[in-house]
Amino acid sequence: MVTGKSSKVGNSIAIAILFIFAIVWMFPIFWTLLQSLRPYGDVLKYGSVSWPHHLNLHNYWTALVQSQMWKYLINSFEVAIPAVLLTLFLASMVAFVVSRYSFKFNIALLMLFTAGNLLPPQLVFIPIFRLYINTWVPNFINGDGVLYDTQLGLILIHVALQMGFATFVLSNYLKTIPKEISESALVDGASVWKHYYVVILPLLRPALASLGVLMTTWIYNDFFWSVALLKSGDKRPITAALSNLQGEFFTDYNLLAAGATLAFLPTLIVFFTLRKQFVSGLTLGSTKG
Amino acid sequence: MTSSTTTKAATTEATPRRRRRGHNFTRTDRAVLTGLVGGPTLLHVILVWIPALCTIALSFTFWDGIGGLNQIHWAGLKNYQQIFTIYQDFKPAVRNNVLWLGFFALIATPLGVILAYYIDKELKGTKFFQTAFYLPMVLSLAVTGIVWDYIFRTNGFVNSVMGNTDPQTATSWFGDPHKNIWIVLIIASWRHIGYVMLLYLAGMKSVDPSLHEAAAIDGATAWYTFRKVIFPSLRPVNVIIIVVTVIDSLRAFDLVYIINRGRNGLQLLGVLVYDNIFGEATRIGWGAALATILFCLSIVPIMLYLYQTFKKEK
């Protein structure tokens, strides 16, 4: 009985400590939200740590309309959504072949993809930069006629890098699905394409959903490649465009807070609505930062 | 290792190999198979592995990056020699990367494991705690930098609470080259801890509950059970966490770039690469050499990871 009591006390202490940690963890986000709701004048008058005398959505309005953050939000989705769909499509094809047919190169191929995903991006981007500057694209994609400074280029590099992770996760997932399901399809004499498209792809749906949620967040959040591969300000996704709200001499920090909130709101919504997929996506592969 | 796997995959993927165990491929099936594997592999190799190899090659050359490829001159090991001897930002960058790794390995990662241990007990409010700790992972590093700026700015939360927001005399958390790296490490840990916790939690859920019970019957304390029973059975997760910790410490870029472009006490190898390519003086050779140094450092965790994941299948 004594032990039961002490563990109860121990648990209460643990809960209290966890609670303090959790509050500290959420505080910066809460604080940014609060700043975004206060007018600049209010903070100027009373200081940033003060009772808010005015709370309104005015900063959001300014950020969205006047600073055109809505455009950058759309840019973000224009990159993230095609990139994720293409990645999932290509990765599922490779995963299908390596997990359903026993070719000699299967493991080497998986290792190539997995290692490629773990390389530091800095190692890749000098030649990519040169390659993009010298790759011709039709004028309707880019007025300059090259792949550099296009969203297509950004999408391609995201696909190439994320594919490693996605292939690895999907092939692991497929290995847990009994091969008998495939075999019955083969007995029916289905072609390879039909085997992939009709049998395997529907089986992959839960894993594709988890990966899709996770990779949308990653690509949406990317900063490095957007800054490196896009020079026109108006093409940049919102993570890279936030600097537009920071003036050279003067920054309205309450407006910036609203911009930052707008930038993370979509991922926050995704997290709260599709949390299960997000978490399982991360643990499916158990790698990648 | 890089080149051998690349060529291996390249040569094998072209010919869809002799069939085995009853695969009776028609001509169309063969074409489809080649396309299914070859297309994605080609894209990955062209945009990831070939550039990676080119960077390594470029690290042995001088090039201003502006002129054509004929402007590239052989440099031997000169770039490396110069980086190690006369490049002033190199030492602070290495020191900061090592500090980053040390801080993650000794403080952030263990803290994530401890949090996972308590969350796994499913105490009251566990859902709320999980949400709180996962939240930073959802934010981009760029936004993370802005969010924490409100806390540590000269007239931000911390200084306001401490009662001095005067631009002249107040503590400049981001500006002081002796303090700013620690602030950045706190911010980076804010994200990293939740990630470690998530991975560990998933691992602990997969531990056979009978292990717990057996240890409890033997009268072992909870801490002893964790140390001697749970922790050793989580070897795969432990390896993954080591890999994530090392790779993330080496890749670090966004956060310091957002804060002050990685200068004045916040130098990191990842930022120096960027600086030498897009900075005032473009020295592609130096940038490439720095990237290659980063790569050499990453090889260890990458190999460890590959070994851990693929050893069963060999």
Rounded CA Rg of chain A:
24
Pairwise CB contact (< 8 Å): A263 & B12: no
In Å, how far is A140's CA from the nearest CA of chain B? 23
Amino acid A172: pLDDT = 85
Amino acid B313: pLDDT = 63
Sequence-distant (≥ 6) Cβ neighbours of residue B49 within 8 angstroms: A112, A116, B2, B6
Instruction: Tell me, yes or no, if B196 comes closer than 8 A to chain A by beta carbon.
Output: no
* pLDDT by 10s per residue, chain B, length 314: 333 444 444 444 444 444 444 566 788 888 899 999 999 999 999 999 999 999 999 999 998 777 677 788 898 899 999 999 999 999 999 999 999 999 999 999 999 999 998 888 888 888 899 999 999 999 998 899 999 999 998 888 999 888 888 888 888 899 888 999 999 999 999 999 999 999 888 888 877 778 777 777 777 787 788 888 888 888 878 888 888 899 889 988 888 988 888 888 899 999 999 888 877 777 889 999 999 999 999 998 888 888 888 876 65
Given a cut of 90, is residue A154 above it in pLDDT?
Answer: yes
Residue A276 binned pLDDT confidence (cut-offs 50, 70, 90): confident
DSSP string, chain A: -HHHHHHHHHHHHHHHHHHHHHHHHHHHHHHHHHHHHS-HHHHHHH-SSS--S---SHHHHIIIIIS-HHHHHHHHHHHHHHHHHHHHHHHHHHHHHHHHS--TTHHHHHHHHHHHHHS-HHHHHHHHHHHHHH-B--TTT-TTSBSTT-HHHHHHHHHHHHHHHHHHHHHHHHHTS-THHHHHHHHTT--HHHIIIIIIHHHTHHHHHHHHHHHHHHHHH--HHHHHH--SGGG--HHHHGGGGS-SS---HHHHHHHHHHHHHHHHHHHHHSHHHHHHHHHHH----
Hey, of A17, A34, A109, A126, which one would you mutate to test binding to chain B, going by the most B CBs within 10 A of its CB? A126
Residue A181 binned pLDDT confidence (cut-offs 50, 70, 90): confident
Residue A286 binned pLDDT confidence (cut-offs 50, 70, 90): low
Q: How many interchain CB pairs under 8 A, A with B?
A: 300
Amino acid A287: pLDDT = 42
Which chain B residues contact residue A118 at CB under 8 A? Answer: 243, 247, 298, 301-302, 305
Q: What is the DSSP letter of B116?
A: H
Amino acid B70: pLDDT = 78
Mean pLDDT of A8-36: 91
Residues B262, B96 contacting (CB under 8 angstroms): no
149-168 of B, contacting A, C-beta below 8 A: 150-151, 153, 155-157, 160-161, 165
* Mean pLDDT taken over chain A: 87
- Minimal-distance CA residue of chain B relative to A167: B40
B61, β-bridge pairs: B74
Given a cut of 70, is residue A1 above it in pLDDT?
Answer: no
Tokens 């609470």, residue located: B161
Hey, of B12, B135, B221, which one would you mutate to test binding to chain A, going by the most A CBs within 10 A of its CB? B135
- Minimal-distance CA residue of chain A relative to B124: A15
Which chain A residues contact residue B160 at CB under 8 A? Answer: 47-49
With the C-alpha atoms ordered B273, B193, B139, A23, is the resulting torsion angle positive or negative? negative
Closest CA relative to residue B145, chosen from A172, A240, A278, A233: A240
Which chain B residues contact residue A90 at CB under 8 A? Answer: 39-40, 43
For A56-102, the pLDDT digits (tens) are 888 999 899 888 899 999 999 999 999 999 999 999 999 999 988 88
Tokens 């005067």, residue located: B166
Residues A142, A149 contacting (CB under 8 angstroms): yes
d(CA A4, CA B261): 54
Amino acid B133: pLDDT = 94
Least confident of A64-68, A207-211, A250-254, B266-270: A250-254
Coil/strand/helix, residue B25: coil
d(CA B256, CA B97): 12
Q: How many CB atoms lie within 10 A of CB A77?
A: 15
Which chain A residues contact residue B137 at CB under 8 A? Answer: 282
* A50: alpha, beta or left? (left if phi > 0; alpha if psi -120 to 50): beta
d(CA A64, CA B68): 42
Output the pTM of the full model.
0.86
The H-assigned helical ranges of chain B are: 2-14, 27-44, 50-58, 78-85, 90-103, 109-119, 126-138, 141-152, 157-162, 180-205, 209-217, 222-225, 231-233, 235-251, 254-260, 269-278, 284-310
Amino acid B17: pLDDT = 44
- In whole angstroms, how far apart are CA B119 and each of B109, B110, B116, B240? 15, 14, 5, 20
The partner residue sitting opposite A156, judged by closest CB among B39, B47, B156, is: B47
Q: Is A203 exposed, middle or buried (0-12, 13-18, 19+ CB in 10 A)?
A: middle
In Å, how far is B178's CA from the nearest CA of chain A? 23
Instruction: Tell me, yes or no, if B48 comes closer than 8 A to chain A by beta carbon.
Output: yes
Residue A28 binned pLDDT confidence (cut-offs 50, 70, 90): very high
Q: What is the ipTM of this complex?
A: 0.87
Closest CA relative to residue A27, chosen from B157, B173, B186, B139: B157
